[in-house]
Amino acid sequence: MENPIVKLRGYKDGLHLIINPKVSLNEVEAAIHELLDGMNQPLAGTSINIDMRPSPLSSEDLKNLETYLTENYDLVVSGVNVFDEKDESPILAAPATHSISQSLTNDNQPDFEQSQIVRQTIRSGQTTSCLSGSVVIYGDVNPGGEVVAAGDIIVLGALRGNAHAGVHGRLSSVIIAMELVPLQLQIGSYMNRPPVGQKPRGYPEIARVGAEDIIIVEEFIKF
Amino acid sequence: MGKVIVITSGKGGVGKTTSTANLGTALAMIERTVVIIDADVGLRNLDVVMGLESRVVYTSMDVIEKRCDLDKALVKDRRVEDLMLLAASQRNRKDDIKPEQMQEICEKLKQEYDFVLIDSPAGIEQGFHNAAAGADEAIIVTTPDVSAIRDADRIIGLLQHQGINSINLVLNRLSPTLVKNGNMMGKNEVLDILNIDLLGVVPEDTGVIASTNRGVPLVHSEGSPGAEAYMRIARRMTGQRIPIPEMQEENFFANLLNWFSRNK
Ligand SMILES: Nc1ncnc2c1ncn2[C@@H]1O[C@H](COP(=O)(O)OP(=O)(O)O)[C@@H](O)[C@H]1O
Ligand SMILES: [Mg+2]
């Protein structure tokens, strides 16, 4: 499902195109073509960042890539970020299991997980909050509905409204939903507003704070 | 003992009054005894849609303030047997009535009638609470647009909070062509969000406007798509199992029209 060469991610500061370092310009362009043409919403006019590790792409290659994105997709490249091996890009660096296993084994907060299970859909105008731990929702969170938790937020349905995990500042908190199409996500003080009208992707997703202090959203595979 | 059902939506103009008038009439046509109550105090129009405006002498306000008996305030329909209207006062405001007073009226009426349908005002304030106070069940009316659905969702939450758990959906003004072109949300998309049982789908039907203006509920115009839809919904309300037709039925109609226009 994931394109192995390029990934598109929405972060707090906008769209990022993340490029696998071990490929040539041609492969990158072909992969971009496949990724962007397969999308159900046009990105024209959007500004985009390019993230990558030190790569075989020469600065000339990069210029060509910018031209390619501008000419073919009407995208505005607002920055090129090259991460070196140590200071890794959040997506490339953090394994999907990272922050969750951390929070599960984090027992220096003994009664932190006074968690809550909610067996209903959170509808417009309703708020569910669990200020002592995490919350699991057996239902949806609809637009106009809100879930707030000191810990994680797990929605066993569609998250279409607002979710604020780690309200007291625990940045290792995560938000997981079977369908993650929220209006707003917040973890601690970081916020992520996905593009309007985003369609469900058909697989569960996880949102968490990455190394760059931005909320990363990606496919949720396992704990 | 009968059932008290509030017909509500949150948003205005989505078809609450139209649905109350048509479902009330349809239920009476299939031989149920029915009272329809206009709870839109100050902006009453159920009497107009029913064509009973000139017959209204007393309103629910007169009953509450003991100027007349409940029975005397009920206006008999002109066309069908066993269909009564309790009109709303035009002079009063929504907070002139208290939930307990509406409850009392509903309690009395459901001893005698099979169905008591309450036409709720828009909004989530006092008027809505009064309308829902005496209800056992609710019918949510929504059109397939984002803001109406958002309001419907809000209302469902409020009703559940009040302990009303039987909440069914009437999806109004669905236009199969618009859905097919991807310009309108479809039935399943709406149900996906609201997550309640679907009682029926009423198509966009220009007959509704004409019937509203004439003061004759659409269900009297046998054969019109809207009338058929309301008749099916009424039958489902009496417990009959009537499948909800998929849109092909309406598509068939559209296709037929297409065919005609192509062969002109
Ligand atoms: N299925 C329909 N097709 C076409 N017009 C409709 C339909 N349902 C309602 N309308 C029109 O929409 C308007 C608002 O309907 P109404 O029942 O008064 O809404 P509400 O009581 O929710 O404010 C009226 O003019 C009515 O004729
Ligand atoms: Mg009305």
Which residue among B17, B18, B36, B206 is best mutated to probe the pocket of ligand 1, counting the most ligand atoms within 8 A of its Cβ? B18
Residues of A in contact with B154 (CB under 8 A): 123-125, 144
Q: Are residues A143 and B151, on separate chains, in Cβ contact within 8 Å?
A: no
Which of A124, A140, A160 lies at the smallest CB-CB distance from B154?
A124
- Note the pLDDT of residue B118: 98
Report the alpha-carbon distance of residue B171 to residue B169 in Å, rounded. 6
| Cβ–Cβ < 8 Å for A135, B166 | no
CB atoms within 10 A of CB B195: 18
Residue nearest to atom 8 of ligand 1 (CA): B15
Token pair listed for A125: 């105008």
The proportion of chain B whose per-residue pLDDT surpasses 90, expressed as a percent, equals 88
Residue A137 has pLDDT above 70, yes or no: yes
- The answer to whether B150 contacts chain A (CB < 8 Å) is yes
State which H helix or E strand residue B217 sits in. none
Averaged pLDDT for residues B133-138: 97
Residue B257 has pLDDT above 70, yes or no: no
| Cβ–Cβ < 8 Å for B118, B7 | yes
Going by C-alpha positions, the residue among B183, B174, B171 that lies closest to residue B204 is B174
Distance from residue B121's CA to the centre of ligand 1 (Å): 13
Distance from residue B110's CA to the centre of ligand 2 (Å): 22
Categorize the per-residue pLDDT at A124 as very low, low, confident or very high, splitting at 50, 70 and 90.
Answer: very high
Alpha helices, H only, chain A: 25-37, 59-73, 90-93, 98-105
For domain A6-109, is the CATH number 3.30.750.50? yes
Q: What pLDDT, in 10s, does the model give residues A169-220?
A: 999 999 999 999 999 999 999 998 887 777 888 999 999 998 878 899 999 9
Which residue of B9, B128, B155, B195 to mutate against A (max A Cβ within 10 Å)? B195
Q: Are residues A140 and B158, on separate chains, in Cβ contact within 8 Å?
A: no
The arrangement of strands across the sheet holding B83-86 comes to B75-76, B83-86, B34-38, B115-119, B3-8, B137-142, B166-174, B197-203
The ipTM estimated for the assembled molecules is: 0.79
Residue B255 has pLDDT above 60, yes or no: no
Averaged pLDDT for residues B40-62: 95
Distance from residue B30's CA to the centre of ligand 1 (Å): 23
Report the alpha-carbon distance of residue B264 to residue A99 in Å, rounded. 67
Reduced to 3 states (helix: H, G, I; strand: E, B; else coil), residue A10 is strand
Categorize the per-residue pLDDT at A100 as very low, low, confident or very high, splitting at 50, 70 and 90.
Answer: very low
Question: Who lines ligand 1 at CB under 6 A?
Answer: B 9, 12-18, 122, 172-173, 202, 204-205, 208-209, 212, 226
Report the alpha-carbon distance of residue A5 to residue A3 in Å, rounded. 6
The proportion of chain B whose per-residue pLDDT surpasses 70, expressed as a percent, equals 93
Least confident of A87-91, A184-188, B76-80: A87-91
CA distance A199 to chain B (A): 12
Report the alpha-carbon distance of residue A209 to residue A221 in Å, rounded. 17
Residue A105 has pLDDT above 60, yes or no: no
Least confident of A64-68, A115-119, A161-165, B151-155: A64-68
Report the alpha-carbon distance of residue A91 to residue A75 in Å, rounded. 21
- Note the pLDDT of residue A83: 60
- Note the pLDDT of residue A99: 34
Q: Domain locations in chain A?
A: 6-109, 112-219
2.160.20.70, 3.40.50.1860, 3.40.50.2300, 3.30.479.30: CATH of A112-219: 2.160.20.70
Residue nearest to atom 23 of ligand 1 (CA): B13
- Out of A56-60, A66-70, B71-75, give the one with best mean pLDDT: B71-75
Categorize the per-residue pLDDT at A110 as very low, low, confident or very high, splitting at 50, 70 and 90.
Answer: very low
Select the more confidently predicted residue: B107 or A195.
B107
Which domains does chain B possess?
3-262 (3.40.50.300)
| Cβ–Cβ < 8 Å for A199, A41 | yes
Select the more confidently predicted residue: A209 or A61.
A209
Averaged pLDDT for residues A116-136: 95
Report the alpha-carbon distance of residue A63 to residue B217 in Å, rounded. 68
Report the alpha-carbon distance of residue A171 to residue B97 in Å, rounded. 50
Produce one character per residue of B198-234: b if its CB has 16 or more CB atoms within 10 Å, e if not: bbbbbbbbeebeebbeebbbbbbbeebbbbbbbbbbb
- Note the pLDDT of residue B261: 54
Least confident of A10-19, A100-109, B176-185: A100-109
State which H helix or E strand residue A195 sits in. none
